C-alpha cells in the first residue's frame, strides 16, 4: 500500500492546499487526534478529513482482503490491522459523541456564537445529532413535567443547569517542537510566559484556551 492520500491542510503561507499523506502518516494523525480528544476535558476541533480518509483506507483494505488468495498468511495480519484501526476510529468518534451529549447546551451555544473564521468544533453530522439530542430532551422534559408546572416555572435554562466542561482540570502536554514565550492566561492581568522545550512533559494549569494544547501538536 504505497498510495498517498490527499488531505486538506495549511501550508506556511496560511493558505489551504492539499497535504499528501502516506497511510502510515494518516493513521498517526488519527491516533494523535484520538489521544488529544481522550485527554482534553473539552470538545476539540472536528477532523472530518481524517475520519473520511481513514474510512476510505479501511474500505481499500477490506477490498484488498476480499481479492486476496484464501489461506494467505498475510490476511490475518491485515485483518488485525483493520480491526485495530477501526477500534481507534470508533473510540475517537465515541469520545466526541459522549462529550457532545454531556455538554450539549454549551456545545450548541459555542457553535451558535462562533465567528466565521473560527473552525467548527462539530462536523455537520455531529451538529445535526447535537440539535436533535437537545430537541428531544427539551420536548421530553416539557411534556412529562414542565407543562404541568405553574406558568412561571415552565422554562428551564439548560445552559445554566447542565454543567460545563471543567477547563481547570489538569492535562499533560507533550511538546513536539520547541516554542518560546507562550502566553499563559492572556485574559487575566498577570501574563505568564513559559517556554516549551521539545520532549518535555509538563503538568498544565488553567487550560483556558485549548489552543495551547494544539501548540504542542
List all residues 6 or more positions away from 91 whose beta carbon is below 8 Å from its beta carbon: 34, 38
Question: Which stretches of the chain bind other proteins, using CB under 8 A?
Answer: 51-52, 55-56, 58-59, 70, 76, 79-80, 83-84, 86-87, 89-91, 93-94, 97, 101, 125-126, 128-129, 132-133, 136-137, 140-141, 143-146, 148-150, 153, 156, 161
Cβ closest to other proteins, residue 7 vs residue 184: 7
Q: What is the nearest approach in angstroms of other proteins to the Cβ of residue 63?
A: 11
Q: What is the nearest approach in angstroms of other proteins to the Cβ of residue 45?
A: 18
Q: What is the nearest approach in angstroms of other proteins to the Cβ of residue 213?
A: 24
Q: What is the nearest approach in angstroms of other proteins to the Cβ of residue 146?
A: 8
Cβ closest to other proteins, residue 141 vs residue 194: 141
Cβ closest to other proteins, residue 10 vs residue 143: 143
Q: Are 171 and 38 in contact (CB under 8 A)?
A: no
Cβ closest to other proteins, residue 81 vs residue 177: 81
Amino acid at each position: 500500500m504505497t498510495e498517498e492520500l490527499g488531505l486538506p491542510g495549511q501550508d506556511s503561507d496560511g493558505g489551504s492546499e492539499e497535504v499528501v499523506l502516506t497511510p502510515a502518516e494518516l493513521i498517526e494523525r488519527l491516533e494523535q487526534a484520538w489521544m488529544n480528544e481522550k485527554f482534553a476535558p473539552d470538545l476539540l476541533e472536528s477532523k472530518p478529513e481524517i475520519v473520511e480518509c481513514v474510512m476510505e483506507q479501511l474500505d481499500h483494505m477490506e477490498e484488498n482482503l476480499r481479492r486476496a488468495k484464501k489461506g494467505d498468511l498475510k490476511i490475518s495480519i491485515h485483518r488485525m490491522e483493520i480491526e485495530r484501526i477501526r477500534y481507534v476510529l470508533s473510540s475517537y468518534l465515541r469520545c466526541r459523541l459522549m462529550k457532545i451529549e454531556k455538554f450539549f447546551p454549551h456545545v450548541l451555544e459555542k457553535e451558535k456564537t462562533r465567528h466565521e473564521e473560527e473552525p467548527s468544533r462539530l462536523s455537520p453530522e455531529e451538529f445535526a445529532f447535537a440539535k436533535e439530542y437537545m430537541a428531544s430532551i427539551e420536548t421530553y422534559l416539557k411534556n412529562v413535567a414542565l407543562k404541568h408546572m405553574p406558568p412561571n416555572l415552565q422554562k428551564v435554562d439548560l445552559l445554566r443547569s447542565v454543567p460545563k466542561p471543567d477547563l481547570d482540570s489538569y492535562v499533560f502536554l507533550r511538546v513536539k517542537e520547541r516554542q518560546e514565550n507562550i502566553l499563559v492566561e492572556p485574559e487575566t492581568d498577570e501574563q505568564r510566559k513559559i517556554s516549551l522545550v521539545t520532549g518535555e512533559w509538563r503538568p498544565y494549569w488553567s487550560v483556558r484556551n485549548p489552543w495551547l494544547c494544539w501548540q504542542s501538536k
